[in-house]
Amino acid sequence: MNPVLDWGINLITNVQSTAPWLRGSMEFFSFLGTETFYILFLPFLYWCVDARLGLRVGIILCASTSVNTFCKLAFHAPRPYWVSTRVQAMSSEASYGLPSGHAQNATAIWGTVGATGGRWLWWAIVTLIMLISLSRIVLAVHFPTDVLLGWILGGLLLWAALCWEAPILVWFKGRTMGGRIGLILATSFVLILIPVVGLAFLPPSDPPEWVATAALAFPPAAGQSAIHPRDISGMIGVAGFLFGLAGGATLLFHQTSFDARSEVRKLFLRYVLGVAGVMIIWLGLRIVLPHDSSLVSQMLRYLRYALAGIWMSYGAPRLFLSLKL
């Protein structure tokens, strides 16, 4: 093992041995970087806080995920519990480790939220980013260097978004409605293409000891591997969600105005009704649609996430307006 990874393993084992009580809280903060959390958080932001902020956060999340997937493939670096039995593996991950997606997404997303508030909000957000990032080290799914690069990439994405959002939006609004939807569709395909390019950086195979060591911590089902870091099917869903979210918001803002501000009672009803629709689409269709690696299955995955995005950005707000919520 190289010196950087050795240092990371030593740090993780020291933290785990001296502060075992951290596990419960670290699992919670790690959850704040998962797909499930964002599926629940983005609708709240869009429907109950600020629709345009929710749209910006959703877009930067999708872009950050694509860049992160590309970098993971380009670096094809292991996770701590793949290479050492000295660490206590508290969570399993199938993808490569460098950079940390949790750290990168948290920096880009919560930084976007922080750009709308004052100093007190920034302090809270920096603390949250640090705790989410720390959780990945404590749970032995990332080396400290993974987190550091995640912060750097997330910061660069945040800077780019803050600098380029206004001119891009002006240019985008100058297109016809058909042109806007076409651009959004093309962008969603670019998000898939970026990780595909990353596959070219991979060696023919991964070290077999990574698979064997990871399997000691989390034994896979019969006939399956403990890790599958070359699988980029998750990006199909992310791309579909981007198309549905941005396309639906474009239609909504063109047809009507939607104000996320309202009475607490109405906001509560919005969220309950809206999330029920998200769950029906996101989870309900997941149960009935195939999960294999075939082209048809991947197309249906894109469609499922696109429908969830359209419901969130267009269908649910139209329902709220019709119900006077």
- Structure-block tokens of residue 190: 């670019």
Query: Tens digit of pLDDT for each residue in 196-211?
Result: 999 998 998 889 999 9
Q: Which amino acid is at 118?
A: G
Global pTM value: 0.93
Contacts of 264 (CB under 8 A, 6+ apart): none
Distance CA 264, CA 208 (A): 55
Q: Which of 114-128, 200-214, 234-248 has the lowest mean pLDDT?
A: 114-128
pLDDT of residue 116: 78
Task: Write down the pLDDT at residue 241.
Answer: 96
Instruction: Give the Cα-Cα-Cα angle 314, 261, 246 (nearest 5 degrees).
Output: 25
SS3 105: helix
What pLDDT is recorded for position 293? 75
Q: Residue 235 is encoded by which pair of tokens?
A: 């990006």
pLDDT of residue 226: 86
- 100 neighbors 132 (Cβ within 8 angstroms): no
DSSP secondary-structure letter at 234? H
* 279 CB-near residues (< 8 Å, 6+ apart): none
- Residue 302: pLDDT over 90: yes
In order of 30, 77, 84, 130, 229, the CA distances from 141 in angstroms are: 10, 12, 11, 16, 13
Q: What is the mean pLDDT of residues 281-307?
A: 86
Most confident of 68-82, 114-128, 214-228, 290-304: 68-82
Contacts of 122 (CB under 8 A, 6+ apart): 114
Sign of CA pseudo-dihedral 286, 38, 66, 54: positive
Q: What is the pLDDT of residue 288?
A: 83
What six digits make up the tokens of 1? 């093992």
